């Protein structure tokens, strides 16, 4: 059922509970207390029913139906409408999962519409029911407790992201090829986390501006300022995460460039080494080819080759072979081919 929990509170004490919206409406009128209705992914008709009963503004109702809103605070007459973006860190997948929570706050009611598992509003309800003095303050106390729970649930997310960034720093210098993709995915999560936390500061500032105008309880004012301080610390940490990831991406690009340069240098050195070997082989081939050429010419044994009949023909041929080889050797040696 989308109606997770609904109850009537009088003087901070839970007096009535029902799993039927119409029943809750009737009991609220009888008790003259405060209603807290918790909905989880409700049907449009259920939201319309709540909107009609408590005279909720159409724009706020449309936001609650369509969801996918950024954190914000709006006031429509005597009703306060807040959108919050809770977050959870999933250890198994090392991913951050974002939810969405819509809160309608009136003089004698509060309606929470969750579109995800977080935050744990059951824990908030139990905590408030154990402190009737706080709950008796009214719907504003419930809104404070919800904000406190959302910000508290940010702490494990911050710790998880911090651990992921530490792992990325180790991967950077280990040469892990998958680190670039992980930096990109983590950067997207950090940006999404910024979109959830930065506007929350404006929400809390808006609530603080209404302290005097709406006569908010003094202790509740202190509690909201404490939540504001915690949120500010979270925002600063998230901003630092984004800067660290940008630096990591720059370092990764530098390391990749150095690796490519090293590879190009090795290839160049290998090419130069091969060229030197080719020079040596070519030089010795030329040296050996010259005597072979002389021997081949005189090995043809034509009848009209006068050198074949000379007494010194053979020594001259050997001398020509030797001199040619020595000359080529000296030439190649001077050119540092050998």
Query: Which domains are seen in the chain, by residue range?
Result: 3-257 (3.30.460.20), 273-334 (no CATH)
pLDDT at 74: 92
Q: What is the DSSP letter of 18?
A: -
Joined tokens for residue 260: 């490519």
Lowest-confidence region among 81-90, 114-123, 246-255, 305-314: 305-314
pLDDT of residue 143 exceeding 90, the answer is yes
pLDDT at 301: 65
Lowest-confidence region among 94-98, 108-112, 299-303: 299-303
Compare 74 and 210 and report the one with higher pLDDT: 74
pLDDT of residue 200 exceeding 90, the answer is yes
On whether the CB atoms of residues 74 and 60 are closer than 8 A, the answer is yes
pLDDT at 148: 93
Compare 229 and 314 and report the one with higher pLDDT: 229
pLDDT at 298: 67
Distance CA 251, CA 266 (A): 22
Residue 256's pLDDT band, with cuts at 50, 70 and 90, is: low
Q: What number of CA atoms fall less than 13 Å from residue 275's CA on the CB side?
A: 7
On whether the CB atoms of residues 280 and 338 are closer than 8 A, the answer is yes
For all residues of the chain together, what is the average pLDDT? 85
Angle between helices 313-334 and 218-298 (to 10 degrees): 160
pLDDT at 309: 67
Give 238's contacts (C-beta < 8 A, 6+ positions apart). 158, 161, 190, 193, 194, 197
Residue 156's pLDDT band, with cuts at 50, 70 and 90, is: very high
pLDDT of residue 329 exceeding 80, the answer is no
pLDDT at 279: 76
Distance CA 3, CA 256 (A): 54
0.85 exceeded by pTM? no
On whether the CB atoms of residues 147 and 83 are closer than 8 A, the answer is no
């Amino acid at each position: 059922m989308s109606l997770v929990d609904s109850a009537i509170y009088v003087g901070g004490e839970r007096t009535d509970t029902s799993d039927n919206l119409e029943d809750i409406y009737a009991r609220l009128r009888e008790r003259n207390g405060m209603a807290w209705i918790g909905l989880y992914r409700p049907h449009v008709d259920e939201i319309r029913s709540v909107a009609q009963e408590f005279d909720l503004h159409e724009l706020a109702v449309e936001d609650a139906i369509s969801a996918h809103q950024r954190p914000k605070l709006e006031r429509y007459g005597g009703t306060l409408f807040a959108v919050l973006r809770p977050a959870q860190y999933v250890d198994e997948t090392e991913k951050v999962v974002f939810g969405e929570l819509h809160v309608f706050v009136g003089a004698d009611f509060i309606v929470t519409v969750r579109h995800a598992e977080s935050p744990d509003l059951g824990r908030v309800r139990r905590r408030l029911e154990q402190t009737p003095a706080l709950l008796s303050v009214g719907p504003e106390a419930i809104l404070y407790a919800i904000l406190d729970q959302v910000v508290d649930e940010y702490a494990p997310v911050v710790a998880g992201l911090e651990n992921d960034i530490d792992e990325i720093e180790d991967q950077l210098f280990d040469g892990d090829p998958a680190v670039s993709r992980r930096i990109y995915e983590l950067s997207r999560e950090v940006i999404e986390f910024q979109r959830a936390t930065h506007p929350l500061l404006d929400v809390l500032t808006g609530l603080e501006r209404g302290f005097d105008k709406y006569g908010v309880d003094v202790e509740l004012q202190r509690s909201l300022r404490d939540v504001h301080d915690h949120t500010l610390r979270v925002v600063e940490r998230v901003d630092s995460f984004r800067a660290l990831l940008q630096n990591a991406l720059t370092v990764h690009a530098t390391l990749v460039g150095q690796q490519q340069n090293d590879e190009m240098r090795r290839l160049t050195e290998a090419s130069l080494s091969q060229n030197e070997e080719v020079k040596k082989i070519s030089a010795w081939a030329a040296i050996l080819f010259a005597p072979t050429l002389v021997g081949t010419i005189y090995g043809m044994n034509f009848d009209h080759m006068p050198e074949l009949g000379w007494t010194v023909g053979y020594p001259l041929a050997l001398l020509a072979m030797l001199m040619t080889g020595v000359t080529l050797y000296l030439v190649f040696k001077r050119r540092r081919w050998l």
